Amino acid sequence: MVETTTESRTRVTAAEAEALLHDLVSIPSLSGAEAEASSHLADWMTRHGFLTEVDETGSAVGERGSGSREIVLLGHIDTYPGEVPVRTEGRQLFGRGSVDAKGPLAAFVVAAATADPPPDVRLVVIGASEEEAASSRGARHASMRYRPEACLIGEPSGWERLTLGYKGRLNLAWSWEGALAHSAGPTPSPAEVAVETWRWIESYAASFNEDRHDLFRKLSPSLLSIQTARQGTFGHAKMEVNLRLPLDLTPAELEQALRKGIPSGEMRYWGHEVAFQASNDNSLTRALRSAIRSEGGQPRHVHKTGTSDMNVVGPVWRCPIAAYGPGDSRLDHTPDEHIDLDEYQNSIRVLQHTLATLMAPGGSAGPS
C-alpha cells in the first residue's frame, strides 16, 4: 500500500467529483490496458485519505479504515472498445466509460472518500481490470483476497434502482470445413451449413424457453459474426455465438447440450459464467432503499440480461450484494454513451447515506 500524504482530506466538492469523472473518462482504458487510468485513480485516492495500490492485476485499490469488518465497493475501470469524443453538453458528459462503468466507479470513490469509518470497519474500493474482456481478472483476484460482509458492484442502474441479478454467459466459436460441389447440386454450401447450425441453436433455445415469458428466465442466443470462404475444392465457415443463461441452466450443462446436438463442425467455448441472483431483503438492500427515499427517489429492483463482476464474486463471498450506480444502461457500448451529471451527484449522496448505515454497529449484519 502507498501511504497517504499530508494533503489527504475527506471533503470532496461537487466540482471535484465531476472533475474526477471527467478525467477518468478522458483516459482510454481498454481491457488489458488500464495502467494509466488505474494510476490516475490511485493517485486521486491517495490525495483523499486512502491507502492505495495498483495491484498485480492492474486494478486500482483504495482502503479507508483498518477494522475487521470489510465493506467492498467493486467497480471496473476498463471499458468497451470504441471512441466516443469526450465533451460536455449542458449537464451531460459524453465519453466511453461514462456510464459503463466509470460513472459508478467514480461515485464509489467519492462516497468512500467522504465517509468516516469507525474503528472496526475497513472500506475497500476497487477499480477492477478486465471486466469487459470476459476474464474479469481484477474481480477474480479480489474474490480470493477479501471476505466482505457487504458488497456493492459498480454498474449503471439509474440512481433510483438497484440490480439484484445477472444472467449467465457462454461464448461459442464454431468452425467447419468441407468439400465443395457444384452449386446446382444437393451438397450444402459453407454458408448453408453455418445457417443450419445457427437455426439449430435457435430451435434449441426456443424449445428451452417454451412457457417462459420473463426474459431473465430465458436462454438468449445472439449471433455475433458469421464468415464463409472458398479455397480450391474446399469451403470454410466460422461463426461466433453469445448465449445468455437463466438461473436454472449452467454453462457446463449448456455446453454439453450443444456439443451433443450441433450437427457438424468444431466448437470452442469460453466465458463461462453462472447466472446469479441476490436477496432483495438484507441489510444492504434496506440501506440502499432508505437512502434512495431520503433523496426523494422511488427505489426499484431490477435484473439484467448481461453479466457483471457480481457473477464472479457473489457465489464466493455469499454476503449481502447488489449492483448500483448512475447512468442509463441502455447506453452501454453505444456511440452515444453519456451520463447525466446531476444523476451522478444524486448517486453519490445515496452511497454516502448507504455507507453510513452499513458502517453503524450491526449495520451489515443480515442474510445474503
Query: Annotated catalytic residue: which of 18, 78, 100, 332?
Result: 78
3-state secondary structure (DSSP) of residue 363: coil
Work out whether the CA dihedral 192, 197, 198, 202 comes out positive or negative: positive
Cell of 295: 433523496
List 131, 149, 273, 343, catalytic entry = 131
What is each CA distance from 123 to 64, 104, 155, 352, in whole angstroms? 5, 16, 18, 12
For the chain, helix, strand, coil in percent to 5 are 35, 30, 40
Catalytic (active site) residue 83: no
Query: Is 23 an active-site residue?
Result: no
Phi, psi of 195 (to 5 degrees): -65, -40
Tell me how far apart the alpha carbons of residues 152 and 104 are, in angstroms, rounded to a whole number. Answer: 10
Contact 169, 271 (CB under 8 A): yes
All residues at 6 or more sequence positions from 264 whose CB lies less than 8 Å from its CB, including other chains: 176, 178, 193, 197
Catalytic residue annotation:
78, 131
